[in-house]
Structure 1
């Protein structure tokens, strides 16, 4: 379990990107953070891995404690938390396999990570690539893969950590609809099979409805909806996307 406790984020320029927010994320649940650009999705997501430190409040990980006030707790939390980024963050000159193996570095001490990783790590990385349908591209350079394939390598890298939690920050924002569908389908399937809690930020409503167990919608740094995907109707969307209510029509006209 991962918990936000009255977490607030105000940046140095005075912008409050996240209003006081308390949320609990449960094991095995596929949660989508839904909202327009600038709604606070990325800020909230990055608080959950310590990439953004709350101005006030706390982030508490089950079995670890506060990741805001205890640096050792933060390191333990990050070792069991996989990240999938919008822009892949792959090393283009390395093979897909070598990129996935970087997900194993945190499992070893600094000195050990300077040497070739054990065969067990290579087997685990190859299995992760197989799960996203890219085993046959394991020895191809990452910069020779399509955008969708690179993002699937990013998923495999996260899974090579053997995580308990996966955080994905707009993982399909730069992809065409077909590639976006494949990437989210792979991520959803693997998390379901392994009982991994996934927290994914999106702005595509239909993808949220299809894949989410739970949708947390944000607007102006504030949670405006928290519920099942089937509850995302026109009224909720009006609040999320600041759409004005339709004008009243005089019944006598």
Structure 2
């Protein structure tokens, strides 16, 4: 379980990006953060993996206490947490397989990670590519793949970590509708099969309704909806999007 207790974020310029927020996310759930740009979705995700330290509150993972308790606990939490980004952050000149293998580096010390990784790691990476339908592209350069394929390599890289939690920040925002649906379908299927907790930020209401177990609607740094897809009605969508006040903070 991932738990946030009264987590709030105010940036150095004085902008309140996230009001005090409490959430409990049980293991194996597929949760979608829904809202417009500037709603606080990315800030909330960054708190969950420790990239942003809240000005108040605690982030607790798996009953192990606050992830900010020490450098060691934060490092261990990040090792168990896979990240998928909007701009997949692949190294274009490297093959799909080499990019996925980067998800294994945290399993080794700094000296060992400078050497070729063991055969077992290569097998894990190949299996991850197979699960997103890209085993036949394993040796292709990343910059020779389509946008949807590159994002699926990003999913495979995250899965190669063998994570307990996946955080995905607008993973389909730069893709066309068909490619975006394929990427989310792959992510949803793998998380279901492996019992991985997923927290995914989206703009697309239709995708949120299709894939989420639970939807968190954010506006102006506050949670204004928390429920199932069936409970997300037209009036609430209007409140999240149409009636959302302009934000000064980043998403």
Q: How far 1:31 moved relative to its partner?
A: 0.2
Q: Which contiguous aligned blocks of 4+ residues in structure 1 show a shift greater than 3 angstroms?
A: none
- Please identify the structure whose Cα radius of gyration is greater: 1
Alignment of 1:134-153 (within 5 A): 134-153=134-153
Tell me how far apart the structure 1 counterparts of residues 54 and 69 of structure 2 sit (CA, whole Å).
Answer: 10
Do 1:214 and 1:228's aligned partners in 2 also have CA atoms closer than 8 Å? Answer: yes
Provide Cα deviations, 1:182-221, integer angstroms capped at 9, x if missing partner. Answer: 0000000000000000000001000000000000010000
Tell me how far apart the structure 1 counterparts of residues 24 and 239 of structure 2 sit (CA, whole Å).
Answer: 22
What runs of 5+ residues in structure 1 fail to find an aligned partner?
A: 245-253
Worse-matched range after superposition: 65-74 or 78-87:
65-74
Worse-matched range after superposition: 34-43 or 235-244:
235-244
The answer to whether 1:117 aligns with 2:117 is: yes
Tell me how far apart the structure 2 counterparts of residues 172 and 48 of structure 1 sit (CA, whole Å).
Answer: 20
Q: How far 1:241 moved relative to its partner?
A: 1.1
Residue in structure 2 matched with residue 249 of structure 1 by the alignment: none
Tell me how far apart the structure 2 counterparts of residues 64 and 143 of structure 1 sit (CA, whole Å).
Answer: 40
Q: How many residues align?
A: 244
RMSD: 0.9
What runs of 5+ residues in structure 2 fail to find an aligned partner?
A: 245-251
Tell me how far apart the structure 1 counterparts of residues 163 and 81 of structure 2 sit (CA, whole Å).
Answer: 5
Tell me how far apart the structure 1 counterparts of residues 165 and 187 of structure 2 sit (CA, whole Å).
Answer: 12
Tell me how far apart the structure 2 counterparts of residues 52 and 230 of structure 1 sit (CA, whole Å).
Answer: 32
Q: How far 1:234 moved relative to its partner?
A: 1.2
The TM-score normalised by the length of structure 2 is 0.96
Tell me how far apart the structure 2 counterparts of residues 68 and 219 of structure 1 sit (CA, whole Å).
Answer: 26
